[in-house]
């Protein structure tokens, strides 16, 4: 029986492409290409980074846990690895690629029969050490949500000065970049 | 001529209802009703609060600036004022009400002919003092984005422990509530 933790995680994972499309489709470049300084992500970079995660991070690691356990540590993930293939692409292309890859990965995930026992299977993270499949799934969800909040924060930052005295009521304007 | 700052702000303001619908429509209650403790907002509360802002805050203040200037200070806004009318309502009802009110307000905003001169008109905030119409418009945008990031953060918080050792890579899990 599929564990309820999987269905609950899927509720978020399947909504992320739609959420990003609603926020970003058709948005002008000053919003879509804004960032927080050197080596920080713009909204467009976030989508590229999420695409790269679909290609190389979440499902490949999940399969390593199921097939190899701790005997094969995960391949380290490069936060900026998306740049070579996905940097500078038009937003619509990024959103479509992310949607397609995410849908495909979640179809595969649903087919894996992740019951309570399988969620306790373990793998080896190259820096964090032993992790469970349940932790990987939860981290995937939180990683999505973290990038949604990052998109909102990066966009808000453009108006840090424009809000004038309202700044003290708008803590998003003074949160650290990430 | 409508000031370009208005068109730019509208890009965000008109997307917020769709963004919230993509994130929240059909979401189960454990996600939709999660909060960060006493007197903090759940995702459903955020939508209620945004509805109340459409009814009593942003456009009414904008009209006060245009019609009365600084002679009539804004009515103080109650962050929890939504509870009486909108607390505990089904998510779909909240999302629909917010979408309708926002659309109506933005139609009105587009009709006000906000050129550069009007954006410099001033009003009086009951706590912050003198503010310009341009600052009010920018604060409206940032307020939307702040609540989008809040929804993401509140939802992520449910998995603070579930991610295990990944927590140190996921700063959204340790950001203060707001």
What's residue B39's pLDDT?
A: 93
What's residue B178's pLDDT?
A: 75
Partnered with residue A122 across adjacent β-strands are A132
Per residue in A87-116, pLDDT (tens digit) is 989 999 999 999 999 999 999 999 999 999
Task: Return d(Cα B155, Cα B164) in angstroms, integer.
Answer: 17
Per residue in A124-164, pLDDT (tens digit) is 999 999 999 999 999 999 999 999 999 999 999 999 999 99
> Which residue in A23, A65, A78 has the most chain B C-beta atoms within 10 A of its own C-beta, making it the best mutation to test that interface?
A23
Mean pLDDT by 10 residues, chain B (178 residues): 95 98 98 96 97 96 98 93 92 98 98 96 98 98 98 98 98 92
Determine the residue of chain A that is closest to B19 in CA distance. A22
Determine the residue of chain B that is closest to A142 in CA distance. B156
What's residue B143's pLDDT?
A: 98
Nearest to A19 among B23, B129, B175 (CB): B23
How close are the terminal C-alpha atoms of chain A, in Å?
38
Per residue in A5-57, pLDDT (tens digit) is 999 999 999 999 999 999 999 999 999 999 999 999 999 999 999 999 999 99
Per residue in B137-150, pLDDT (tens digit) is 999 999 999 999 99
Whether residue B56 lies within 8 A of chain A, CB to CB, comes out as no
State the pTM of this model.
0.97
Whether residue B166 lies within 8 A of chain A, CB to CB, comes out as yes
Nearest to residue B91, comparing CAs of B163, B139, B25, B18? B25
Query: Which two three-digit tokens encode residue B121?
Result: 């008109």
Whether residue B4 lies within 8 A of chain A, CB to CB, comes out as no
User: What band does A178 get if pLDDT is binned at 50, 70 and 90?
Assistant: confident
Strand extents, DSSP E, chain B: 122-125, 129-132
Locus of tokens 């603070």: B160
Per residue in A53-85, pLDDT (tens digit) is 999 999 999 999 999 999 999 999 988 999 999
Nearest to residue A120, comparing CAs of B173, B168, B164, B159? B164
Question: How many beta-carbon pairs under 8 angstroms link A with B?
Answer: 155
User: What band does A1 get if pLDDT is binned at 50, 70 and 90?
Assistant: confident
For A16-28, letters b (16+ CB in 10 Å) and e give bbbbbbbbbeebe
What's residue B1's pLDDT?
A: 86
What's residue B3's pLDDT?
A: 96
Test A166 with B128 for CB contact under 8 angstroms.
yes
Burial of B126 (0-12, 13-18, 19+ CB in 10 A): exposed
Nearest to B19 among A22, A146, A156 (CB): A22
């Amino acid at each position: 029986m599929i564990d309820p933790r999987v269905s609950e995680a899927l509720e978020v994972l399947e909504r992320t492409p739609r959420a990003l499309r609603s926020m970003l489709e058709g948005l002008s470049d000053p919003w879509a290409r804004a960032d927080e300084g050197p080596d920080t992500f713009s909204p467009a970079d976030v989508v590229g980074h999420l695409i790269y995660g679909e290609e190389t991070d979440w499902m490949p690691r999940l399969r390593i846990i199921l097939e190899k356990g701790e005997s094969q540590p995960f391949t380290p993930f490069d936060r900026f690895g998306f740049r070579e293939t996905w940097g500078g692409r038009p937003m619509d292309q990024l959103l479509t690629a992310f949607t397609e890859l995410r849908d495909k990965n979640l179809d595969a995930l649903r087919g894996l029969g992740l019951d309570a026992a399988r969620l306790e299977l373990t793998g080896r993270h190259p820096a964090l050490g032993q992790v469970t499949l349940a932790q990987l799934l939860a981290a995937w969800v939180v990683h999505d949500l973290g990038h949604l909040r990052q998109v909102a924060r990066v966009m808000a930052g453009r108006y840090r000065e424009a809000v004038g005295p309202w700044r003290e009521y708008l803590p998003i304007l003074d949160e650290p970049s990430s």
